[in-house]
Amino acid sequence: MNTAEKYDVLVLGAGTAGKLMAWTMAKEGRRTVVVERKYIGGSCPNVACLPSKNVIHSAKVASLVWRHREFGIETGPISIDMAVISLSVPRSGQRK
């Protein structure tokens, strides 16, 4: 038989603000529950900020590679495979 559980605080969303609110309320001794539809941690570490940072880092590396002669390095043709870059970004719930 199911019994209803009682909470002092219901936090909707486990993004930055939701996590902070839940941690703060629980630390103050309030019985707290968090409801998250999709991304624990919000969209930033899952699909927004971190994937963007990965692409930016890859662009910086590509820039250095294209400037290889400035560093006394000789190499062959250079190309960028965006499919590989996008695959290197861990998705929610996955680890590299």
Mean pLDDT by 10 residues, the chain (96 residues): 88 90 96 90 73 82 91 89 73 45
Cβ atoms 35, 7 nearer than 8 A = no
Report pLDDT for 95. Answer: 44
Report pLDDT for 12. Answer: 94
Both tokens assigned to 28: 């103050």
Q: How far apart are CA 68 and CA 63, in angstroms?
A: 9
- Helix, strand, coil proportions of the chain in percent (round to 5)? 40, 10, 50
